[in-house]
Structure 1
Amino acid sequence: MAESQSPPYRLLTYNIQVGLHTRDYGHMVSGAWRHLWPSKDQHSNLERIAEMLSGFDFVAIQEADAGSLRTRSRNQIEFLARAAGFDHCGFIVTRDLHPVARHCHGWMSRAAPIEQQAHSLPSRIPGRAAMRLRYGEELGGLTILAAHLSLGGEDRRKQLRYIAGMAGAGERVVMLGDLNSGNEFLRHHPDLHEKGLRPVPDAPKTYPSWRPRRALDQVLLGPGLQARRVAALPIHLSDHMPLAVDVEVLDRPHR
């Protein structure tokens, strides 16, 4: 087994459902109006989320809003990054329903990426995207692929093929996000297998947050990386639980 050459890097992915707390499926239906109009608890929920994010080196956020009527023009990615003390952040708008909603997902990190890209993903219904961020040794030389995938299996297969193509040869690659996929689906995807991207074993269930039954949020690691800790955090501010992972960079790739 290769030895670690640095302390673990703390990464997290979280589908925040636009900062809307959800208690159960009934609450999702009765509170559906909150996806179109500002709700009084949204700001306090975001502040609590920011407090939790402050302990991480890199965070991927799904189902945020880039500033619209329903968030009182607040860009939630920028707000969370500022409130949690991150110096660097970015986002991609996936569905622009101005002025009511601007769906987006984004990232924030302590280190500045040396390269960043945003990609629209193939989908029968437009609105899915992935981000590619490449870091220097300040964040272990990681290349991070952050994504939010479709619900349909055929779309997800195509999207995973596209994202696998974003992983460069010899890079230390982490893929994470709301992938709407279980371990078996990811493990048997031929393009992920070819790139050596493997889901962390025994990924915890994250959805729904009030009674988790499905592991929809996932982390995959490429050669040269190892997960030391993977946990669904017991925080109930969305319909998903946040998924945290400590990633160690090894001194030589392994499979």
Structure 2
Amino acid sequence: MLSANIQAGSSTRRYSDYAMRSWSHVLPMGKRLSLDTIAQLAGEHDIVGLNESDPGSLRSGFTNQTHYLAQRGGFHYWSHQPNRRVGGVASSANGLLSRLEPIEVIDHALPGRIAGRGVLLAHFGNDNRGLTIAVAHLSLGAASRASQLSFIAELLHDHPNAVLMGDFNCDLERPEMQALFKRTRLQPPDSVVATFPSWRPQRAIDHILLGDGLVRHHARAMAAAASDHLALSLELDVPETALRR
């Protein structure tokens, strides 16, 4: 399993690049090579959650990046959730790549002071003990994050085999994260992995959280091309009954 904020294939190798390479956030040059590198990494996993995957705008050369990664990575099943569009110049989406066929995929808009955040929910298995994957990209502000996590807690509150993955923009010690753990069966991991900034990772703000029916192994950070986030990879033990159709 992999969670990756791919920054729409843009290159950021130092803080100054946010200003000096700002053109990469609105123009498509160089992104295809980055996407091919991300596809190679994604292809080593069975389920991949994406943040900041452009669903088709000027900066991606009008390419749906989630679809492109699915094709290049060899995934038969993919879905995306466009969340925020800046004219026709840039757009952002959550994405899901899977080698397993989901029974259903549902888009939910998340609350927040500024619209444009969402959670993509995929169900595998045919009852409330089936595997449920949620991909989200949370807000920078604590108040908005708290309301978003409260919404997600309602969706996942009684799922032992739930996975919540993505860019949370905060560490696990934040009060809003502790509230999530109290209201769901999601468990804080035994250890965290720093993922941001990618060139000198100091903050653990990308997470893969598991319900108490699942077991994780070998969590590690991996370079997602030239994104400002490292990707988070882990091995997941899933009960056979959670995938029964």
- TM-score with structure 2 setting the length: 0.91
Could you report, residue by residue, the CA deviation over 1:132-191 in whole angstroms, capped at 9, with x for unpaired residues?
111139xx9310111000011111111111011111634411111001121212785324
* 1:20 aligns to 2:10 (yes or no): yes
* 1:62 aligns to 2:51 (yes or no): yes
Give the Å deviation of 1:119: 0.6
Could you report, residue by residue, the CA deviation over 1:60-99 in whole angstroms, capped at 9, with x for unpaired residues?
0101111111111101000001100000001111112342
Counterpart AA for 1:215: A
> Is the contact made by 1:115 and 1:135 (CA closer than 8 Å) also made in structure 2?
yes
> Is the contact made by 2:35 and 2:225 (CA closer than 8 Å) also made in structure 1?
no
Counterpart AA for 1:64: S
Counterpart AA for 2:236: V
Aligned positions of 1:1-255 closer than 5 A:
11-39=1-29, 41-136=30-125, 141-167=130-156, 169-185=158-174, 189-249=178-238
Change (3 A) 1:215 1:186: farther
Change (3 A) 1:29 1:143: same
Structure 2 equivalent of residue 6 of structure 1: none
1: CA distance, partners of 2:119 / 2:219 = 22
2: CA distance, partners of 1:230 / 1:214 = 15
1: CA distance, partners of 2:175 / 2:52 = 22
Give the secondary structure class of the aligned counterpart of 2:144: helix
Give the Å deviation of 1:201: 2.2
Structure 2 unaligned segments of length 5 or more: list them: none
Q: Percent identity?
A: 36
> Is the contact made by 1:143 and 1:171 (CA closer than 8 Å) also made in structure 2?
no
Structure 2 equivalent of residue 8 of structure 1: none
User: Once superposed, which parts of structure 1, at least 4 consecutive aligned residues long, lie more than 4 Å away?
Assistant: none
1: CA distance, partners of 2:156 / 2:224 = 31
Counterpart AA for 2:53: A
- CA RMSD in angstroms comes to 2.0
Change (3 A) 1:69 1:236: closer
Structure 2 equivalent of residue 5 of structure 1: none
Structure 2 equivalent of residue 4 of structure 1: none
1: CA distance, partners of 2:14 / 2:71 = 30
Give the Å deviation of 1:32: 0.9
Give the secondary structure class of the aligned counterpart of 1:43: helix
Could you report, residue by residue, the CA deviation over 1:19-41 in whole angstroms, capped at 9, with x for unpaired residues?
012110111210112111222x2
2: CA distance, partners of 1:148 / 1:188 = 14
Structure 1 unaligned segments of length 5 or more: list them: 1-10
1: CA distance, partners of 2:15 / 2:161 = 39
Aligned length: 239
- TM-score with structure 1 setting the length: 0.88
> Is the contact made by 1:235 and 1:241 (CA closer than 8 Å) also made in structure 2?
yes
Counterpart AA for 2:145: R
2: CA distance, partners of 1:229 / 1:141 = 23
Counterpart AA for 1:222: G
Counterpart AA for 2:6: I
Decide which moves more: 161-170 or 117-126. 161-170
Counterpart AA for 1:106: G
